[in-house]
């Protein structure tokens, strides 16, 4: 077990290192941050000063070594744009993204599982067909369009929900959270739903497929033959078995939600990490891009680890082998 | 209210960037302010004059206090000029405006004299970009102190209550403000970068006021009874820069068979004139910009100091253009690639496509390549393009675009840093230099007009149009539009209180 986790961490470190090299080369290849940040009015002397101030006058490999040396001491550099430590910037925005991702995942499970279960148990009913058709829409409609439609309908036409932004927040543990105020929750409903739409469809399809498969298994037949109530068969025997693929996929999706909620955050002006990273890429704010991707890599590694561990709990047949 | 571009810092000297300047204008004051039409008006200085060429005197406004009660004096001005060039890590500092100052003399607590190297008529204009800080309060203030709100203390009409990076800034009225008091008690200044979402937030009533109204929404908003628009001709010109650097082959120009042309056709003024005459500017303004621009034949719009009255936007004349091309030795035209950003200026890539079609019509077969600004600007600055579409926001003075866009690039003079086509004309340089030494405003205006006339006759650049700045608000509000694009809460009032 320990060896297993250790090996995972080693892999993570390598990935982070490779990724930082890629970002350095990538940003260098795209363009010159100073050209983008500097006022068009600046003359040549001012341009040279800015290039020097941001440490961009050194050769690329030297810039990278400077970065590594500082990173080893826990300093991932200062944002070119905000002049604040990149790590701090990202951590400031993290709660916003986290609560959005968590609520989107909850939506996905709360809506997706029951619907999928129903569609799996009664595959031929018109309702099930409707659910499946709806899930196709969920897959195929582009997020930004759905987001804008949600705003048009619920904020502009009906006026039920606020259109954009984060609403009131409460400070807990030095971080700002929206889900603790009613205003904050109102602001969160639309973006969270928008973000979860794809996941809801995914969970519906996985659940349905799982149910259809398990229902034919011998142990389900036996359970029925034994005279167990349909509810018990469904919720104990079937449900537990279909959870395994669902947990894996939702876990991986959760990482993706945190890392790539860019579109939803932009449409709803949600001040999370996704918006920060896209803004940073637009101005080639390298320290923030590097720090962000490093955090994301670490996060994916951690989530994968947790998924693997949960898997082994849910399915006694799966055991994490340290030997291989 | 909601703005479309994120404010990145509350430090008024950290990053020379319009959204930051707008917010800095709410918190701080400058010695010299500008009104909506970009004319200089008194700010923290009540009057200013050149005592002699090379020595400016500014009389400071008495009885002004910072938000924390500290008094505003000449010491604070001197301190500000010291801090401006020394903000650590600044990606674009305001030092360009204070560099001409060679010496600061404090005459008394409310009079300050600035010495420059020889006559320097632009001093008041330069200082209309520099926000004044307090020596006592900001002695050791870092950019982070400003961002946290701790040091965001000025003499301006608004105080900062809270600042959430990239999300919103909350302001409260400064009741002790020396000028006209703002109409509102509190302002919630939000950043909604997505155009459609910003318009939706206005329609939904979540915000009362937005800037950067997308041109695609204009027609609809004009019809909406609940909405009023406020607009003014801006100072941002969209133009095409041409490769003046190479006399041999230019990278994206070939003959009609795709073979490189050994000499750069753009060096011939007849070709440049033909390209300019080929463009139907009014059509671009009407169709692509939905009317939100004015066709341009020069850098500055009408009504701005040193605008040239007898230099209208060229009328489209494809026949004359073809003739000019033939005279220049290209009766069958040639091929060119027009490079453009696609995420920087309003409708930028679509404008370039329209221009490309118009050029193709006179025989210059044009392909348009659009890229994101991040990659575009680096290549443009390395003179990699033959023709590129770009914009420029001017100060309201002819020497500003002249010096930056068409003067010969020179590090010593600090000229031509944005002259990406590397146009160079010693005659023009001499005229700009002479104008920059002329202290008499009327004479200088004449000289600047002559210089602009020369630049345009020589087609140093091809001007297309000047953008209109548009704001939208709920009915019941009025806004004083600004040519400089800044979105400031003090410019908004309830309709009844206006007049």
Supply the pLDDT for residue A324.
42
Q: How far apart are CA B432 and CA B450, in angstroms?
A: 9
Its pTM stands at: 0.84
Does the structure show a pLDDT above 90 at A257?
Answer: no
Q: How far apart are CA A31 and CA B372, in angstroms?
A: 10
Q: Report the pLDDT averaged over residues A292-299.
A: 84
Exposed e or buried b per residue across B139-172, where buried means at least 16 C-beta atoms within 10 angstroms of its C-beta:
eebbbbbbbbbebbbbbbbbbbeebbbbbbbbbb
Nearest to A41 by CA among B407, B389, B416: B416
Between B213 and A320, residue with greater pLDDT: B213
Q: Report the pLDDT averaged over residues B124-146.
A: 92
Per-window interface: B 161-200 vs A, CB < 8 A = 164-168, 190-194, 196-198, 200
Supply the pLDDT for residue B499.
45
Does the structure show a pLDDT above 90 at A144?
Answer: no
pLDDT digits (tens, 9 = 90+) for B417-438: 899 999 999 999 999 999 999 9
B8: nearest CA in chain A? Answer: A82
Does the structure show a pLDDT above 80 at A309?
Answer: no
Tell me, yes or no, if A27 comes closer than 8 A to chain B by beta carbon. no
Tell me, yes or no, if B392 comes closer than 8 A to chain A by beta carbon. yes
Residue with tokens 């080369």: A25
Name the minimum distance, in Å, from the CA of A153 to any CA of chain B. Answer: 10
Does the structure show a pLDDT above 70 at B293?
Answer: yes
Q: How many residues does chain B have?
A: 499
Per-window interface: B 399-428 vs A, CB < 8 A = 400, 404, 409-411, 414-415, 417-418
| Cβ–Cβ below 8 Å for B91 and A89 | no
Q: Where are the alpha helices (DSSP H) in B289-337?
A: 318-327
Residue B235's φ and ψ, nearest 5 degrees, are -120, 10
Per-window interface: B 62-91 vs A, CB < 8 A = 88-91
Q: How far apart are CA A244 and CA A222, in angstroms?
A: 21
pLDDT digits (tens, 9 = 90+) for B241-291: 999 999 999 999 999 988 889 999 999 999 999 999 999 999 999 999 999
Per cent of chain B over pLDDT 90 is 75
Q: How far apart are CA B177 and CA B162, in angstroms?
A: 19
Between A218 and B265, residue with greater pLDDT: B265
Q: Report the pLDDT averaged over residues B404-411.
A: 91
Exposed e or buried b per residue across A298-314, where buried means at least 16 C-beta atoms within 10 angstroms of its C-beta:
ebbbebbbebbeebeee
Supply the pLDDT for residue B183.
92
Residue A242's φ and ψ, nearest 5 degrees, are -80, -15
B3: nearest CA in chain A? Answer: A269
* pLDDT band for position B365 (cuts 50, 70, 90): very high
Tell me, yes or no, if A158 comes closer than 8 A to chain B by beta carbon. no
Supply the pLDDT for residue B497.
54
Supply the pLDDT for residue B47.
93
* pLDDT band for position A74 (cuts 50, 70, 90): confident
pLDDT digits (tens, 9 = 90+) for B213-237: 998 889 889 999 999 999 999 999 9
What the block records as the tokens of B3 is: 């703005």
Tell me, yes or no, if A288 comes closer than 8 A to chain B by beta carbon. no
pLDDT digits (tens, 9 = 90+) for B321-356: 999 999 999 999 999 999 999 988 999 999 999 999
| Cβ–Cβ below 8 Å for A82 and B96 | no
Identify whether the C-beta of residue A23 lies closer than 8 Å to the C-beta of residue A293: yes
Supply the pLDDT for residue B204.
87
Per cent of chain B over pLDDT 70 is 99
Residues 6 or more apart whose CB falls under 8 angstroms from that of B79 comprise B133, B134, B135, B138, B139
Q: How far apart are CA B141 and CA A110, in angstroms?
A: 50
pLDDT digits (tens, 9 = 90+) for B19-68: 999 999 999 999 999 999 889 999 999 999 999 988 999 999 999 999 99
DSSP string of B196-239, one letter each residue: HHHHHHHHTTS-SEESS--HHHHHHHHH-TTEEEEEEEEEEEEE
**Burial level of B118, CB count in 10 A (0-12/13-18/19+)?**
exposed
Q: For testing the chain B interface, which of A29, A31, A161, A261 should be mutated: the one with the most B CBs within 10 Å?
A: A31
| Cβ–Cβ below 8 Å for A31 and B205 | no
Query: Count of CB contacts below 8 A, A vs B?
Result: 172
How many C-beta atoms lie closer than 10 Å to residue B186's C-beta?
A: 12
Tell me, yes or no, if B204 comes closer than 8 A to chain A by beta carbon. yes
Q: Report the pLDDT averaged over residues B85-112.
A: 90
What the block records as the tokens of B148 is: 């946290």
Supply the pLDDT for residue A225.
84
CA distances for B74 relative to A1, B109, B240, B241, B250, angstroms: 70, 5, 44, 44, 54
Does the structure show a pLDDT above 80 at B443?
Answer: yes
Supply the pLDDT for residue A76.
82
Q: Report the pLDDT averaged over residues A64-69.
A: 86
Name the minimum distance, in Å, from the CA of B167 to any CA of chain A. Answer: 6
């Amino acid at each position: 077990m320990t060896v297993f986790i250790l090996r995972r961490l080693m892999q993570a470190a390598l990935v982070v290192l490779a990724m930082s090299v890629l970002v350095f080369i990538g940003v260098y290849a795209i363009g010159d941050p100073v050209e983008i940040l500097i006022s068009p009015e600046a003359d040549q002397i001012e341009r040279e000063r800015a290039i020097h101030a941001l440490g961009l006058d050194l050769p690329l490999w030297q810039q990278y070594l400077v970065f590594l040396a500082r990173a080893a001491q826990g300093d991932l550099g200062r944002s070119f744009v905000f002049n604040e430590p990149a790590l701090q910037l990202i951590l400031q925005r993290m709660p916003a993204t986290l609560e959005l991702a968590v609520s989107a995942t909850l939506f996905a499970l709360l809506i997706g599982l029951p619907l999928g279960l129903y569609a799996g148990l009664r595959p031929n009913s018109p309702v099930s067909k409707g659910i499946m058709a709806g899930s196709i829409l969920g897959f195929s409609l582009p997020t930004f369009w759905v987001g804008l439609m949600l705003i048009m309908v619920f904020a502009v036409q009906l006026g039920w929900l606020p259109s954009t932004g984060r609403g009131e927040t409460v400070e807990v543990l030095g971080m700002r959270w929206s889900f603790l105020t009613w205003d904050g929750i109102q602001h969160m409903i639309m973006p969270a739903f928008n973000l979860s739409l794809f996941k809801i469809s995914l969970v519906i399809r996985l659940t349905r497929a799982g149910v259809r498969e398990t229902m034919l298994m011998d142990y389900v037949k036996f359970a029925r033959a034994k005279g167990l109530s349909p509810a018990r068969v469904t919720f104990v025997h079937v449900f537990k078995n279909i959870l395994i693929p669902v947990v894996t996929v939702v876990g991986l999706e959760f990482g993706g939600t945190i890392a790539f909620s860019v579109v939803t955050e932009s449409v709803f002006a949600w001040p999370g990490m996704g918006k920060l990273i896209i803004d940073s890429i637009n101005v080639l704010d390298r320290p923030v891009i590097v720090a962000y991707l490093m955090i994301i890599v670490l996060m994916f590694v951690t989530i994968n680890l947790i998924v693997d561990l949960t898997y082994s709990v849910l399915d006694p047949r799966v055991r994490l082998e340290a030997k291989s | 209210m909601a703005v479309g571009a994120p404010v990145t810092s509350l430090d008024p000297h950290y990053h020379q960037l319009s959204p930051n300047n707008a917010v800095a204008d709410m918190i701080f004051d400058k010695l010299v302010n500008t009104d909506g039409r970009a004319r200089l008006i008194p700010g923290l200085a009540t009057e200013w004059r050149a005592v002699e060429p090379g020595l400016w005197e500014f009389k400071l406004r008495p009885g002004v206090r910072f938000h924390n009660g500290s008094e505003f004096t000449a010491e604070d001005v001197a301190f500000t000029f010291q801090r401006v060039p020394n903000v650590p890590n600044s990606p674009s500092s305001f030092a360009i405006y204070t560099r001409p100052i060679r010496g600061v003399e404090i005459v008394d607590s409310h009079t300050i004299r600035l010495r420059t190297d020889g006559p320097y008529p632009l001093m008041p204009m330069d200082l209309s970009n520099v926000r004044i800080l307090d020596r006592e309060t900001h002695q050791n203030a870092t950019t982070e102190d400003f961002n946290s709100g701790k040091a965001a203390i000025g003499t301006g009409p608004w105080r900062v209550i809270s600042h959430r990076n990239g999300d919103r800034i909350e302001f409260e009225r400064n009741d002790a403000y020396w000028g006209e008091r703002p109409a509102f008690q509190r302002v919630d200044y939000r950043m909604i970068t997505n155009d459609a979402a910003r318009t939706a937030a206005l329609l939904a009533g979540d915000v009362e006021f937005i800037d950067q109204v997308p041109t695609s929404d204009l027609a609809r908003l004009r019809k909406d009874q609940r909405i009023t628009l406020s607009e003014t001709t801006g100072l941002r010109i969209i133009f095409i820069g041409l490769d003046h650097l190479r006399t041999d082959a230019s990278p994206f120009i070939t003959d009609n068979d795709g073979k490189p042309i050994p000499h750069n056709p753009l060096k011939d003024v007849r070709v440049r004139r033909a390209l300019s005459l080929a463009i139907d500017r009014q059509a671009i303004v009407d169709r692509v910009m939905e009317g939100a621009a004015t066709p341009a034949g020069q850098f500055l719009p009408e009504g701005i100091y040193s605008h040239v009255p007898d230099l209208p936007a060229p009328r489209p004349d494809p026949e004359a253009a073809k003739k000019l091309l033939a005279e220049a030795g290209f009766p069958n035209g040639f091929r060119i690639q027009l490079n453009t950003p696609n995420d920087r200026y309003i409708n930028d890539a679509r404008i370039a496509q329209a221009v490309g079609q118009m050029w193709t019509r006179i025989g210059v077969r044009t392909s348009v390549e659009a890229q994101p600004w991040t990659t575009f600007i680096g290549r443009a600055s390395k003179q990699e393009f033959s023709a590129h579409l770009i914009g420029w926001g001017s100060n309201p003075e002819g020497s500003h675009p002249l010096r930056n866009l068409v003067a010969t690039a020179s590090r010593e003079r600090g000229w031509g840093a944005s002259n990406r086509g590397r146009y160079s004309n010693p005659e023009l340089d001499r005229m700009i230099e002479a104008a920059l030494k002329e202290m008499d405003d009327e004479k200088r205006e004449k000289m600047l007009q002559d210089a602009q006339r020369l630049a345009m006759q020589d087609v140093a650049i091809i001007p297309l149009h000047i953008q209109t700045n548009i704001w939208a608000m709920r009915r019941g509000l009025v806004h004083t539009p600004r040519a400089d694009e800044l979105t400031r809460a003090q410019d908004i009032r309830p309709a009844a209180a206006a007049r």
